[in-house]
Amino acid sequence: MAENSIRVRFAPSPTGMFHVGGARSALFNWALARQQPDGKFVLRIEDTDAARNKPEWTEGIIRALAWLGIHEQDPHFEGPYFQSSFADKHRETAQRLYKDGAAYYCDCTREQVQERRSAEGNPHLGYDGFCRDRGLEPGPGRALRFRVPDGGPTVVDDQIRGRVEFEHSAIEDFVIARADGSPLFVLANVVDDVEMGINEVIRGEEHLSNTPKQQLLWRALGRTPPRWAHLPVIVNEKRQKLSKRRDKVALEAYQAEGYLPEAMVNYLMLLGWSPGGDREIMPWAQMEPLFAISEVNSSSAFFDEKKLRAFNGEYIRSLSADEFVERCRPWLSADAAPWPPENYDDAVFRAIAPLAQSRIAVLSEITPNVDFLFLDAPVEDEKSWNKAMKPGVGEEMLTAALERFADPALEWEPEALKAALEETGAGLGLKLGKAQAPVRVAVTGRTVGLPLFESLALLGRERVQERLRAALAKLRAASRDTEG
RNA sequence: GCCCCCAUCGUCUAGUGGCCUAGGACGCCGCCCUUUCAAGGCGGUAACGCCGGUUCGAAUCCGGUUGGGGGUACCA
């Protein structure tokens, strides 16, 4: 291990979904690791909870990281390690701390502490150090507590926040191992970081209050603490930390909607950091060398999906035609698409795709744009229908169009179709904008969509005529109903 | 309650004492282009929370205040 090279870590606990905040954290860490020839990004799965120990959770994490561009095969990647596999080391370290006198056993129950504190009139204060000097031996019901130094503060030097002081009087003698000997997060985390030679810890702000405790632990272990950096939290519209219960935080959810990883990465990097120079849309390769942890903002950032969408649209438009088609594939597949799989025609899709590319902001929107080509009948959208098929326009226009389209001399290609519809519309005193509406709804089911004449050309004369006739029939049936 | 963090347009940010009558982006609103809708072009809306100081000069430094947020477990 190159002694001076950076060793950062990303230490998620497997919960079955990958949090966007975690994603940003991972990205920041990754950039730092990649900036140095021997820099390492260590993935450590914090699976100490038995309930959080499903193998598929871990696979999900690795898959999500790969989606972001953080690949296991990259030489800067190390791991994954599993916290659970270091359990012996954790217990051993707890014992060492006890033997050194840095920690002591305590048999106070939570209730006892509460009672004593209430008696003092300070019910909100934490543990009171009752067992500090009782010299308790290890035994059942006895947890191990860290002896926080009496006087003075612990100073945390944070790369983002600067110097943060915590008075020791405000830090209780915290538990580092439960009565059953199992270690707590605060200990396990430090032991692992020590073991893995982590020299820079970059994590969410919610860990800032753990930091003085951990720094004390590093010192008690005779080690130099890492450099710390606490990232601002990502918040929702109500300015609360994003929570998986109430907010859309799963990276997988965004992926499923058709957000491109490039766009997500770009957007996430901008949450708390900026490359400066009025630049925002910037590929990862350019950001990576520019990123500096000390430039990260210290105030919380709202996760603005609208802006993410805009970025995504930008990235979609920058795709080549072929790439765009490939990226759309998951939404066209038999199990995802709403049409009968046998109706799908790749050549037709390839022909229409470029027209859709500038019109969608997330990939999943490709489906409603092209479904009319592969569905047996267009979707029924009442609002569209009512808007386009107004009396005096709908029936007349459809009738005229049908008549015009029946002319075998009419070339079935966009330009000719446009001219034809312009002409039929003019015959009814309608501009093209008005004239095309009933035809569009009859053929595609919707009032908005891809350019109409290309759509008609691709659908083919017969199917267009068929749909026009069906629409007319529906219209006439409806008017008979109202008259009768 | 206690500890800690934070504070520039609605949002993400640029800004590190004079270049700021505060720049960009998203959003929103107009206009242009136009077969619908987008895309694109042009233009507009809108911010340094408040009060004191320091200074010849503060968005930038200091103190306070207010307002947000995070943490307060034998969770991670």
Looking across all nucleic acid strands, the nucleotide with the smallest C1' to CA distance from residue A161 is B5
Residue A166: predicted pLDDT: 94
Tell me the pLDDT tens digit for each residue of A128-161.
889 999 999 999 999 999 999 998 899 999 999 9
Residue A52: predicted pLDDT: 58
Please tell me the total number of residues recorded for chain A in this structure: 484
pLDDT above 60 for A2: no
Mean pLDDT is lowest, of A81-90, A120-129, A248-257, A370-379, for: A120-129
Looking across all nucleic acid strands, the nucleotide with the smallest C1' to CA distance from residue A434 is B35
Q: At A174, is the secondary structure helix, strand, or coil?
A: coil
Q: Provide Rg for chain A, Cα atoms.
A: 32
Residue at shortest CA–C1' distance from B34: A433
Mean pLDDT is lowest, of A2-6, A36-40, A258-262, A313-317, for: A2-6
Residue A212: predicted pLDDT: 97
Residue A50: predicted pLDDT: 58
Tell me the pLDDT tens digit for each residue of A424-473.
999 999 999 999 999 999 999 999 999 999 999 999 999 999 999 999 99
Token couple for A365: 């929107």
From the CA of A228, how many Å to the C1' of B16? 22
- Strand B bases contacted by the protein (CB, 7 Å): 1-8, 10-15, 23-27, 35-40, 68-76
Cα separation values, A186 from A14, A96, A214, Å: 17, 16, 6
pLDDT above 60 for A99: yes
Residue at shortest CA–C1' distance from B68: A239
pLDDT above 90 for A32: yes
Return d(Cα A191, Cα A186) in angstroms, integer: 9
Looking across all nucleic acid strands, the nucleotide with the smallest C1' to CA distance from residue A273 is B13
Known catalytic residue: A244? Answer: yes
Tell me the pLDDT tens digit for each residue of A264-301.
999 999 999 999 889 999 999 999 999 999 999 999 99
Return d(Cα A277, Cα A263) in angstroms, integer: 19
- Phi/psi for A156 (5° steps) reads -100, 125
Cα separation values, A481 from A342, A384, A470, A475, A484, Å: 37, 20, 17, 10, 5
Tell me the pLDDT tens digit for each residue of A402-435.
999 999 999 999 999 999 999 999 999 999 999 9
Cα separation values, A58 from A43, A71, A84, A214, A392, Å: 11, 14, 13, 26, 63
Give the CB-side neighbour count of residue A11, counting CA atoms within 13 A.
24
From the CA of A384, how many Å to the C1' of B72? 56
From the CA of A237, how many Å to the C1' of B46? 19
Average pLDDT over residues A226-232: 97
Residue A51: predicted pLDDT: 61
Is there a contact between A483 and A413 (Cβ–Cβ < 8 Å)? no
Same fold across A320-370 and A382-483? no
Of residues A40, A99, A213, A244, which has the active-site annotation? A244
pLDDT above 80 for A123: no
Token couple for A184: 């707590």
Residue A53: predicted pLDDT: 66
Q: List A78's β-bridge partners, or say none.
A: A42
From the CA of A202, how many Å to the C1' of B57? 39
Arch. (CATH architecture) of A382-483: Orthogonal Bundle (1.10)
Residue A483: predicted pLDDT: 63
Looking across all nucleic acid strands, the nucleotide with the smallest C1' to CA distance from residue A277 is B14
Is there a contact between A40 and A32 (Cβ–Cβ < 8 Å)? no
Domain boundaries, chain A: 320-370, 382-483
Tell me the pLDDT tens digit for each residue of A345-395.
999 999 999 999 999 999 999 999 999 999 999 999 999 999 999 887 899
Residue A469: predicted pLDDT: 96
* Per-chain mean pLDDT for chain A: 94
Residue A268: predicted pLDDT: 98
From the CA of A66, how many Å to the C1' of B67? 41
Confidence class for position A3, pLDDT limits 50, 70, 90: low
pLDDT above 90 for A115: no
Q: Count CB-CB contacts under 10 A for residue A375.
A: 16
- Specify the DSSP class assigned to residue A32: H
Q: Count CB-CB contacts under 10 A for residue A370.
A: 26
Average pLDDT over residues A189-199: 97
Using omega within 30 degrees of 0 as the cis cutoff, is the peptide bond preceding A14 cis? no
Token couple for A115: 């009672």
CATH no., domain A320-370 = 1.10.8
Token couple for A66: 């790969």
- Phi/psi for A241 (5° steps) reads -55, 135
Return d(Cα A449, Cα A64) in angstroms, integer: 33
